[in-house]
Chains A and B, each alone.
Chain A
C-alpha cells in the first residue's frame, strides 16, 4: 500500500504556540498533513492515520520534564493497537528552560516507543528557551544565529528521511553563563512577582490549597 504522506501531530493544547509554529515551519517545506492531538475523546482515528503515514513528526511542549499526559496516552494507544511497520518517526520537544537536558526525556520516550512498536526512530530536536516565543517565529529565538540553521537542517532530514543526530540541536544552544543565569532569574522572578501583585497575591504566602484547609 502506498504511504507517501507526512503526518505532523501537534501535542500542545495551544493552537498558536511554539509546538504548532515549529510544525508549520516544517510543513511549509515538506507538505503533508498537520493535525492537533485532541485533548479528550477517542484516539483510534489518529492512530489509524499514524499507521497510514510513511513519516510521522510529533511536536509537543515539555511539561514536568517530558511530554504532556495526552501524548503519552497516544503512544500507549498506538502501542496497544499495534500494526506499525517501518514508519519513520521524528520528535520535537520545546520547553521554557534554556537547557536541553531539562526536556530531552520526551525524545527518549519516543525512541523507546518506536523501538518497541516497529517504527523507525529518525531523531529529534530539543528546543530550550522556546516557550517564551509563544508562537512567534524561530527567527526571534534568543539563540537564533545557531538555532535557525540547525532547525532548518532538521527539516531537511525529515524531507530526505535521514537520521537527525542529537548533536544538531545540542551544538545550536548552550546554557547561559552563571552571571547571565542569575540576571535572567532575577528579571523573570521580578516579572512574575509584579504579575502576582497585580492580582493581589503574595508570592511568599503558603499555597492556596494549604490555606483553604486551615
Chain B
C-alpha cells in the first residue's frame, strides 16, 4: 500500500499525484492533512514508554497512524514553506514519532532511531514556484536528515506550481516501482 498525505490548502496536488500512482499501483490511500483535526505533539513520551507505539491524543491522527504503520511507501506532498514542509504536514510528521523505534541504532557512525518493524520507503514532494536554489536544497536537506534518522530509503522531489503532467507521471512511476 502507498499512503499519500498532502496539504491541499493551496492546490490539488495530492489528488493529481494519487491519481497518477493509482494508474500504476492498485492500493493507494490519499489523506488530505489540511482537512483533518490533528493536534500538536505534546512531547508526553507516552508512545515510547507507558503506551509504547500508541499515541494517546484522541483526534484524526488515530485513523491516519494505522495507514502509515502498515504501508510500503509514505509520500508527503506539501508546498515548500521556508525550505521545509507546511504546518499541516509537519503536524503529521511530529505525531509519527509514535511509529518510531525508541532504541538507538548505529548508521554511518552515528546514532539513529529507525522505524518500528521494517519501516517504509519515505518520499517528499515539495511544490513551489520560483524557489531559490538555497530554498530547494534546504527542502532536500530536510528529507535527507529524516531518512538518516528514520533509517529508511526514499527520494525528495521538487515540483513547479504548474504541475507538469510529465513530471508527476515520472514521480508516480518511481514511487510505484520501488
Residues in chain A within 8 A of chain B (CB atoms): 12-14, 17, 39-40, 61, 63-66, 68-70, 72-73, 75-76, 97-99, 101-102, 105, 108-110, 112-113, 116, 175, 178, 181-182, 184-185, 188-189, 192-193, 195-196, 199, 201, 203, 205-210, 212-213
Contact yes or no, A207 B116, CB < 8 A: yes
Q: Give Cα A95 to B146, complex, Å.
A: 14
Q: Give Cα A82 to B48, complex, Å.
A: 40
Contact yes or no, A97 B54, CB < 8 A: no
Q: Given known contacts A97-B111, A193-B103, what 16 new A-B pairs fall within 8 Å (CB)?
A: A64-B90, A64-B93, A65-B146, A66-B84, A68-B41, A68-B94, A72-B87, A97-B149, A105-B145, A109-B82, A175-B110, A185-B106, A192-B48, A195-B49, A201-B53, A209-B99
Contact yes or no, A68 B81, CB < 8 A: no
Q: Which residue of chain A has the shortest Cβ distance to B64 in the bound complex?
A: A209
| Number of inter-chain CB pairs below 8 Å | 153
Contact yes or no, A102 B149, CB < 8 A: yes
Main SS of chain B's interface residues? Answer: mixed
B27 → A minimal CB distance (Å): 14
A interface footprint on B45-88 (CB within 8 Å = 1, 0 otherwise): 00011111110000000000110111000000000011111111
- Known contacts A76-B87, A99-B110, A112-B135, A105 near B54 by CB under 8 Å: no
A32 → B minimal CB distance (Å): 24
B91 → A minimal CB distance (Å): 4
A-B contact pairs, 11 of them (CB 8 A): A61-B43, A64-B94, A66-B90, A69-B94, A70-B40, A108-B141, A110-B82, A184-B111, A188-B104, A207-B117, A209-B69
Contact yes or no, A105 B83, CB < 8 A: yes
Chain B interface size band reads: 35 or more
Q: Give Cα A182 to B106, complex, Å.
A: 7
Q: Give Cα A17 to B101, complex, Å.
A: 23
Contact yes or no, B141 A105, CB < 8 A: yes
Contact yes or no, A69 B91, CB < 8 A: yes
- Known contacts A185-B111, A195-B49, A75 near B142 by CB under 8 Å: no
CB of B35 closer than 8 Å to a CB of A: no
Contact yes or no, A184 B43, CB < 8 A: no
Q: Give Cα A159 to B138, complex, Å.
A: 29
A interface footprint on B104-140 (CB within 8 Å = 1, 0 otherwise): 1110011100001100000000000000001100100
- Known contacts A65-B145, A65-B146, A199-B50, A192 near B102 by CB under 8 Å: yes
Contact yes or no, B40 A209, CB < 8 A: no
